[in-house]
Structure 1
Amino acid sequence: MAEAKKARAFAKVQRPRLYEQLMQQILAFVEAEQLGPGDHLPAERELAEQLGVSRATLAQALVALEVLGVIDVQHGTGAVLVHRPSVATVLRELREHKNRLPDIVEARSTLEVKLAALAAARRTEADLRKIDHALEVMAAEIGEGGRGERGDELFHEAITAAAKSAVLQKLMTFIAEMVLETRIESLGQPGRPERSLESHLKIADAIRRGDSTGAAAAMGEHIEMVSDVALLRDGR
Structure 2
Amino acid sequence: MSSRSFTGLKPLTRPRLYEQVAEQITGWIGENGLKPGDRLPPERELATRLGVSRATVSQALVALEVIGVVAVRHGDGAVLTETRSSTKIIDAIRAHATRMPEIIEARDALESKLAALAAQRRSDDDMARIDAALDEMARDIEDGGRGVEGDELFHAAITAAAHSSLLSRMMAEISDLILETRIESLSQPGRPRDSLKAHRKIADAIRAKDPRAAAEAMHDHVEMVSDVALLRD
TM-score when normalising by structure 1: 0.92
**Could you say which residue in structure 2 is the equivalent of 1:202?**
201
**Bigger mean CA deviation after superposition, 94-103 or 157-166:** 94-103
The structure-2 alpha-carbon separation of the partners of 1:8 and 1:177, relative to structure 1 and needing over 3 Å to count, comes to closer
The amino acid across from 1:73 in the alignment is V
User: In the TM superposition, what is the alpha-carbon distance from 1:10 to its structure 2 partner?
Assistant: 6.5
Q: Confirm whether residue 139 of structure 1 aligns to residue 138 of structure 2.
A: yes
> Identity over aligned residues, as a percent?
57
- 1:114: which partner in 2? 113
Secondary structure of the 1:94 match is helix
Letter in structure 2 aligned against 1:45: R
Q: Deviations over 1:112-153 (max 9, x none)?
A: 000000111111111111111111110110111111001001
For 1:15 and 1:171, the matched residues in 2 are separated by 35
User: CA separation of 1:14/1:122 partners in 2, compared to 1, >3 Å: closer, same or farther?
Assistant: same
**Counterpart amino acid of residue 231 in structure 1:** L
The separation in 1 between residues aligned to 2:114 and 2:188, in whole angstroms, is 26
In the TM superposition, 1:5-44 aligns within 5 A as 12-44=11-43
Map residues 1-236 of structure 1 onto 2, 5 A cutoff. Answer: 12-233=11-232, 235=233
In the alignment, is the contact (CA less than 8 A) between 1:123 and 1:163 conserved in 2? Answer: yes
- Equivalent residue letter for 2:108: S
2:71 is paired with a residue of what secondary structure?
A: strand
Query: Runs of 4 or more off by more than 6 Å in structure 1?
Result: 5-10
Deviations 1:1-24 (A, max 9, x none): 56xx99999655432111111101
Distance 2:205 2:192 in 1: 20
Note the aligned Cα RMSD (angstroms): 1.9
Give the TM-score of the pair, scaled to structure 2: 0.93
**Any conservation in 2 of the 1:71–1:80 contact (CA below 8 Å)?**
yes
* One-letter amino acid of the structure 2 residue matched with residue 208 of structure 1: R
Taking a change above 3 Å as real, the CA distance of residues 7 and 115 of structure 1, as seen in their structure-2 partners, is: closer
Residues 173-224 of structure 1 deviation map (CA, whole Å, 9 limit, x = unaligned): 1111111111111111111111111110111111111111011001001111
Aligned length: 233
1:41 touches 1:78 (CA, 8 Å); kept in 2? Answer: yes
1:9–1:170 CA distance, 2 compared to 1 (3 A) = closer
Gaps of 5+ in 2: none
Q: Show structure 1 runs of 5+ residues with no match.
A: none
Deviation at 1:70, TM superposition (A): 0.8
In structure 2, what is the Cα distance between the partners aligned to 1:9 and 1:128?
Answer: 55
Query: Structure 1 stretch 146-155 or stretch 50-59: which is displaced more?
Result: 50-59
> Are the aligned partners of 1:199 and 1:222 in contact in 2 as well (CA < 8 Å)?
yes
